Amino acid sequence: MGRTKELFAALREDFINKCQLVEDGEEYLLDTVIEMREERAFYEEMIKNIKDFEAEKYGEIETKAGEFQNNYKGSVFEFRAGRKTFDYSGIPEYQNAKSTLKQVEEKYKAAWHNASNGLMAVSEDGEELQLPEVKYSGKTLVIRKSKK
């Protein structure tokens, strides 16, 4: 088994053990959640470091992989050009359209709130407004160090 697979197996086993300790009442849930969040932050930083390393070595990786027809030790390497993005923030017409959109959103959000409070959702002219579809996101847990 390669180093990566061994590491993954060890991390998975550690995670399962922590969960089991909580289930068995041997570890306190909040302590375990805090510890897992700290580990998560570490792994997210490692992922960022890996991405930075790959970006720095992109050309060299492309050259070396090409020597093996982009297929090396069971891994296929694909190289894709970066995408093009546009920034319209400096265009007055775009800024005006965004402002208008914001006003429309506020109008219909207020209409929805009125309707949810039993009031009729109508425009300034007295026309009934179509209500926006409302979607709810999942619950979120935020944990941060207290300021002591």
The model's pLDDT over 55-105, given as tens digits with 9 standing for 90+, comes to 999 999 999 999 999 999 989 999 998 899 999 999 999 999 999 999 999
Residue range 21-33: mean pLDDT, rounded: 96
Residue 36 has a pLDDT of 95
Output the six-digit token pair for 144. 């941060």
User: Residues of the chain with pLDDT > 70: what percent?
Assistant: 99
Q: How confident is the model at residue 1 (pLDDT cuts 50, 70, 90)?
A: low
Cβ count within 10 A of residue 111: 20
Residue 3 has a pLDDT of 85
Residue 63, φ and ψ in degrees, nearest 5 = -65, -50
